Amino acid sequence: MTDSTAPRPPTGDHQVPLELQVNGRTARLSADIRTTLLDALRDGLGLTGSKKGCDRGQCGACTVHVDGRRVLSCLTLAVGAQGKQVTTIEGVAEGDRLSPVQQAFLDHDGFQCGFCTPGQIMSAICAIRDGDTGSDAAVREAMSGNICRCGAYEGILRAVRSAAERTARQEGTG
Amino acid sequence: MAKPLIGTATARVDGTAKVTGRADYAADRTEPGLAHGHLVLSTAGRGTLRSMDVTAAEAAEGVLAVYSPFNPLKLHRIKTTPDVCFVGQFWLPLQDQEIRHYGQIIGLVVAETFEQARHAASLIRAEYDLLPVRADFAGRIAHAVPPPVAINHEDPQVDLLAEEFGTVDEALAAGPVQVRATYTQPPEAPLALEPHACLASWSEGVLTLRVGSQSPVGGALAAAETLGIGLDQVRVLSPYVGGAFGGKLYIWPHPLLTAAAARELGRPVRTVLTQEQVFTTVGHRSAVSQTLALGAERDGTLVAVKHDAVSSLSLSGVIYETAAHTTSRYTYKSPSLHVGQRIVPLDSPPTTWVRAPGEAPGAFALESAMDELATELALDPVELRMRNYATVFPGRGVRWSGKHLDECYRVGAERFGWQPRTAPRPQPAEDSDQVWLTGTGMAGATYPGNLLPTTLANVRLRADGTATVATATSDPGTGMRTVLAMVCADDLGIPVERVEALVGDSALPLNYGAFASMGTSSSAGAVRSATTALKQRLLDLAAGDARSPFHGLAAEALAYRDGRVVGGGHSLTFAELLAATGLSELDSPGASAPGAERLRFAVHSFGAHFCELRVNRWTGEVRLDRWTSVIDGGTIINPRTARAQIVGGILFGIGQALLEGIRVEPDTGRFANGNLADYLVPVHADMPDFDIHFLDHPDTDFTPLGARGIGELGVVGTAAAIANAVHDATGRRVRDLPITVDKLL
């Protein structure tokens, strides 16, 4: 009985130079061609806020924004993210001033262990922007790609609803 | 007097770190010269590893070492048991060629990068001499045996019989009404979202091990024992833990191998498990089968309870579910009572503690059986429970330190709008176009209140007006940091923002950690002991130090109030007093430990769950709509994090009821759905609307603070409440979890 299941990458030197636009800055690094955007952010750039829960697109903990859309960075190759604007949890606050969604997660206890939280917040920011958060049912659907094993969904729901309402008010008055 | 913090909803003190991504979990740190480990797991379930071809792996780019049973990292044998040593299993990987379960560790590849290590691991070929695998729990129940050791200090079979009966079966037969049924559930995974990870680095013979753990001290004990070093040569750091649920109580072998590799290579090594690897290299909850028989008078009074549980036990471990001893043993008053436990040893990954171990499956069976009895008697299920209400722990003759379960039932029924029922809900006519069938269900919940062995804490006042509280527990999302800061701030009469809580470090004052819902009552007690002593030290300083404005006054003439020392016409903040006396800080240790309360009282937390759900008449889909729980947990220190604990526990129970279960291939022992896509857990859309209410009955017979644990209580009874509601909606009694659509079609 033998085992050998993983696909074979090409042999030879796998390192390539990469240029990524992350949180408004240009970052240059050398990475393996197999490196996911998640691993490039975490290991290459030290941006460890994005989490590796499953590395297979099953949990949502690695959610970041690429050109304004929420993507699973564990299913995105770093080489493929070149030339696009990447935003991570480290890029949503303005200095020490938390973004409204971050503040709402604090205000409504939208987390417990905190591991899924960066992904939840990145998902929520996009869901609010995309107008998918107009009702409790809409939030539950829009946020169901981000698993929280602690079961903080109730706080997440209240946080997303309140941030969405606040955003809508600001847009209404702005 | 400042408003008391205890009992006031308080935001988590580590919240900002968590919403900004700054909270550093075990896999988030790096070190200069870091190398990356990747595990190799067996693809056989039992036998002998005949050979491993590592040639290609060793030749692969970036590979530093390939360790295997044929090129082992030497670890010292475990001299104790898997629980005492905190490794979680008897044997350590790579020390022999035996294959004990599918997915066990048979290799560790270390390379310069993560990608290189993962790729090289995939190049390894293993050959096995196979033996038949004993993995079929259901098929082996007939071979179940009594466990070799006591359960909660009692025999595996306990019979408390009314004197006229020789056996519990005779007692059952004397009841005019009887129900008897078997309830089953598959193994479950704790499945914290953070996969287990570790970073080991050595400096001058001292190991620093970063690992997400419920028990940094336990991790240090395990590392010292298996790596052959002193306890003063290891420090385990778990500043942030990405969920645990029992799965991170023991350290498991991968950090020990990683530390050994780091020692041999002279480089820091980080090993991050994949979720697929987590399923088989760390523990899971036993599969459980329970047979419950209830005998009752026609008015619902129980005459006998007979609860026999069978659990799977991994041959690698010692932990299994004790479903009857943890529930039917004491939940209801009955003149005759029998609980029994047997185990089915399997060639499986280690079985271990998972949130509400014993109570979670036990309450599913018992509280389902009570519902079945209520149906049989045409009696309201709440009323049936009240007619069998226990005020004295059966067979021990002691009362509970605090028990307000009756109030939980009553208040819960009121808040929920429970309609007492005595007859089955009518089903729609065959030709009705009704799609959703609505049902309601309820169940009770119990969880023991225990205290850790000796628990220490240190509280330090600083001249800048801040304080720190330190103890070696961890905060896997429970809110422990916040609770410790609150107790400290409350005792010192200062705002919580001025207290820093230090946890997650084995070098802090001794604390076995956060598990079995003991963390808050134990750790908070140690903090209170420390603050009490510290305030006295401060008064002694004020009276005794020549530079103090209070000098010359008797310490007894001084008082500490709201962060100030007052007396003799003076009033100084502790910061001013420390500055006046030339001290930068003043500290005191404190301790808590179990005492005689366990002999004088039974100690449990209680609760009652009520839920409403819909079942789709055509697809069998179950949707939970609303949920009310009333909780009797003694003093609630932080209602905000307490609510989160209860809600999170109920969601854990919703998973047990509707979604979760490891599918074991009987011939190989492989976990067929051992990944986050195929092992289903509740997602956001699965959540009902929650109404959570805490009763306010401080349990000062248990601890001075009056707090009991609530971290696991929410799980208990949840699956039964759901199964009972499904029965109410559909008329179908599902006794095999999870309640999937195929069981309702």
B151 domain-assigned: no
Domain that holds residue B99: 31-132+192-244+248-281
Residues of chain A above pLDDT 70, percent? 91
Could B684 and A93 be called an inter-chain contact, meaning their C-beta atoms sit closer than 8 Å?
no
Would the pLDDT of B98 be above 70? yes
Contacts of A151 in chain B (CB under 8 A): 644, 647-652, 682, 687
Would the pLDDT of A136 be above 90? yes
Would the pLDDT of B742 be above 70? yes
Q: Give me the pLDDT at residue B523, please.
A: 93
pLDDT in tens, B649-671: 999 999 999 999 999 999 999 99
Total domains, chain B: 3
Q: Give me the pLDDT at residue A3, please.
A: 46
What is d(CA B199, CA B261) in angstroms, rounded to the nearest whole number? 11
Distance from CA of A122 to the nearest CA of B (A): 10
Q: Give me the pLDDT at residue B519, please.
A: 87
Q: How many CA atoms lie within 13 A of B374 on its CB side?
A: 27
- Chain A, residues 139-158, CB within 8 A of chain B, namely 139-141, 143-157
Could B684 and A139 be called an inter-chain contact, meaning their C-beta atoms sit closer than 8 Å?
yes
Would the pLDDT of B182 be above 90? yes
Quick one: tokens of B647? 């809600």
Mean pLDDT of B319-323: 97
Confidence of residue A12 (pLDDT cuts 50, 70, 90): low
> What proportions of chain A, in percent to the nearest 5, are helix, strand and coil?
40, 20, 45
Q: Please indicate, yes or no, whether residues B446 and B468 belong to a single structural domain of this protein.
A: no
Q: Please indicate, yes or no, whether residues B505 and B581 belong to a single structural domain of this protein.
A: yes
Q: Please indicate, yes or no, whether residues B526 and B568 belong to a single structural domain of this protein.
A: yes
Q: Please indicate, yes or no, whether residues B98 and B199 belong to a single structural domain of this protein.
A: yes
Q: Torsion angle, CA of B492/B494/B498/B504, rounded to 10 degrees?
A: 40
Q: Fill in the DSSP letter of residue B322.
A: -
Quick one: tokens of A90? 């480290």
Sign of the C-alpha dihedral computed for residues A125, A126, A131 and A136 taken in this order: negative
Q: Right CATH number for A15-91 from 3.40.50.150, 3.90.800.10, 3.10.20.30, 3.20.20.70?
A: 3.10.20.30
Contacts of A32 in chain B (CB under 8 A): 113, 115-116
Q: How many CA atoms lie within 13 A of A154 on its CB side?
A: 21
Confidence of residue B3 (pLDDT cuts 50, 70, 90): confident
B137 domain-assigned: no
B703 domain-assigned: yes
Mutation choice for B interface testing from A63, A154, A156, A161 by most B CBs within 10 A: A154
Q: Torsion angle, CA of B596/B599/B601/B606, rounded to 10 degrees?
A: 100
B7 domain-assigned: no
Secondary structure (DSSP) of B646-683: HHHHHHHHHHHHHT----B-TTT--BTT-STTTS----
Would the pLDDT of B691 be above 50? yes
Per the CB < 8 A criterion, the answer to whether B21 and A50 are in contact is yes
- Complex-level ipTM beyond the 0.95 threshold: yes
Q: Give me the pLDDT at residue A170, please.
A: 83
Q: Is A69 on the interface with B (CB under 8 A)?
A: no
Would the pLDDT of A10 be above 80? no
Mutation choice for B interface testing from A3, A74, A116 by most B CBs within 10 A: A3
Quick one: tokens of B296? 């009752």
Q: Within 10 A of B230 (CB to CB), how many other CB atoms are there? A: 9
Could A2 and B127 be called an inter-chain contact, meaning their C-beta atoms sit closer than 8 Å?
yes
Q: Please indicate, yes or no, whether residues B117 and B173 belong to a single structural domain of this protein.
A: no
pLDDT in tens, A75-102: 999 999 999 999 999 999 999 999 999 9
Quick one: tokens of A162? 């309140």
Residues of chain B above pLDDT 70, percent? 100
Would the pLDDT of B643 be above 90? yes
B149 domain-assigned: no
Contacts of A56 in chain B (CB under 8 A): 275, 675-677
| B109 strand-pairing partners | B38, B66
The answer for residues whose C-beta is within 8 angstroms of residue A89's C-beta and 6 or more apart is A49, A50, A64, A118, A121, A122, B20, B21
CA-closest candidate to residue A91, choices A114, A68, A107, A116: A68
Q: Give me the pLDDT at residue B357, please.
A: 97
Q: Is B500 a catalytic residue?
A: no
The answer for residues whose C-beta is within 8 angstroms of residue B469's C-beta and 6 or more apart is B457, B458, B459, B460, B484, B485, B487, B488, B499, B500, B501, B502, B527, B530
Quick one: tokens of B600? 């004088």
Quick one: tokens of B509? 């004052």
Confidence of residue A1 (pLDDT cuts 50, 70, 90): very low
Secondary structure (DSSP) of B518-582: -HHHHHHHHHHHHHHHHHHHHHHHHHH-TTSTTTTS-GGG-EEETTEEEETTEEEEHHHHHHHTT
pLDDT in tens, B612-634: 999 999 999 999 999 999 999 99
- Secondary structure of residue A58 in the 3-state scheme: coil
Mean pLDDT of B511-527: 92
Could A49 and B20 be called an inter-chain contact, meaning their C-beta atoms sit closer than 8 Å?
yes
pLDDT in tens, B544-574: 999 999 999 999 999 999 999 999 999 999 9
Contacts of B118 in chain A (CB under 8 A): 6
Q: Which of B21, B118, B275 sits opposite A49 (nearest CB)?
A: B21
B287 burial type by CB count under 10 A (0-12 exposed, 13-18 middle, 19+ buried): buried
Residues of chain B above pLDDT 90, percent? 96
Q: Give me the pLDDT at residue B2, please.
A: 59
Q: Give me the pLDDT at residue B596, please.
A: 84
Mean pLDDT of B322-342: 98
Q: Please indicate, yes or no, whether residues B532 and B410 belong to a single structural domain of this protein.
A: no
Residue ranges per domain, chain A? 15-91, 100-173
Q: Is B683 on the interface with A (CB under 8 A)?
A: yes
Q: Is B684 on the interface with A (CB under 8 A)?
A: yes
Q: Give me the pLDDT at residue B4, please.
A: 86
Q: Distance between the two ends of chain B, CA-based, in angstroms? A: 62
Would the pLDDT of A4 be above 50? no
Q: Which of A4, A51, A121 sits opposite B19 (nearest CB)?
A: A121
The enclosing H or E element of B222 equals: helix B216-227
Find the closest chain A residue to B50 by CA distance: A1
pLDDT in tens, B400-455: 999 999 999 999 999 999 999 889 999 999 999 999 999 999 999 999 999 998 99
Catalytic residue among B188, B321, B612, B712: B712
Mutation choice for B interface testing from A48, A112, A146 by most B CBs within 10 A: A112
- Secondary structure of residue A81 in the 3-state scheme: helix
- Does 1.10.150.120 match the CATH number of domain A100-173? yes
Q: Please indicate, yes or no, whether residues B78 and B175 belong to a single structural domain of this protein.
A: no
Q: Please indicate, yes or no, whether residues B298 and B275 belong to a single structural domain of this protein.
A: no
- Secondary structure of residue B413 in the 3-state scheme: helix
Contacts of A123 in chain B (CB under 8 A): none
- Chain A, residues 95-134, CB within 8 A of chain B, namely 98, 102-103, 105-107, 109, 111-118, 121
Q: Please indicate, yes or no, whether residues B324 and B261 belong to a single structural domain of this protein.
A: no
Place of tokens 């996911």: A36
Q: Give me the pLDDT at residue A7, please.
A: 45
Would the pLDDT of A2 be above 80? no
- Secondary structure of residue B464 in the 3-state scheme: coil
CA-closest candidate to residue B211, choices B143, B160, B262: B262
Contacts of B129 in chain A (CB under 8 A): none
Q: Please indicate, yes or no, whether residues B304 and B331 belong to a single structural domain of this protein.
A: yes
Q: Fill in the DSSP letter of residue A36.
A: B
Q: Give me the pLDDT at residue A9, please.
A: 46
Could B21 and A61 be called an inter-chain contact, meaning their C-beta atoms sit closer than 8 Å?
no
Q: Please indicate, yes or no, whether residues B630 and B698 belong to a single structural domain of this protein.
A: yes
B150 domain-assigned: no
Query: What is the separation of C-alpha B170 from the centre of its chain, rounded to a whole number of angstroms?
Result: 38
Could A111 and B477 be called an inter-chain contact, meaning their C-beta atoms sit closer than 8 Å?
yes
Per the CB < 8 A criterion, the answer to whether B233 and A105 are in contact is no
Would the pLDDT of B645 be above 70? yes
Contacts of A46 in chain B (CB under 8 A): 30
What is d(CA B116, CA B105) in angstroms, rounded to the nearest whole number? 19
B240 domain-assigned: yes
Q: Is B446 on the interface with A (CB under 8 A)?
A: no
What is d(CA B636, CA B710) in angstroms, rounded to the nearest whole number? 9
User: What is the β-pairing status of strands B302-314 and B336-346?
Assistant: parallel
Per the CB < 8 A criterion, the answer to whether B402 and B449 are in contact is no
| Mean of per-residue pLDDT scores for chain B | 97
Q: Please indicate, yes or no, whether residues B359 and B374 belong to a single structural domain of this protein.
A: yes
Q: Is A73 on the interface with B (CB under 8 A)?
A: no
Final residue in a domain of this structure, among B228, B259, B281:
B281
B202 domain-assigned: yes
Final residue in a domain of this structure, among B570, B593, B616:
B593
- CATH no. for residue B37? 3.30.365.10
Confidence of residue A173 (pLDDT cuts 50, 70, 90): low
Mutation choice for A interface testing from B13, B14, B18 by most A CBs within 10 A: B18
Final residue in a domain of this structure, among B281, B304, B329:
B281
| B632 strand-pairing partners | B606
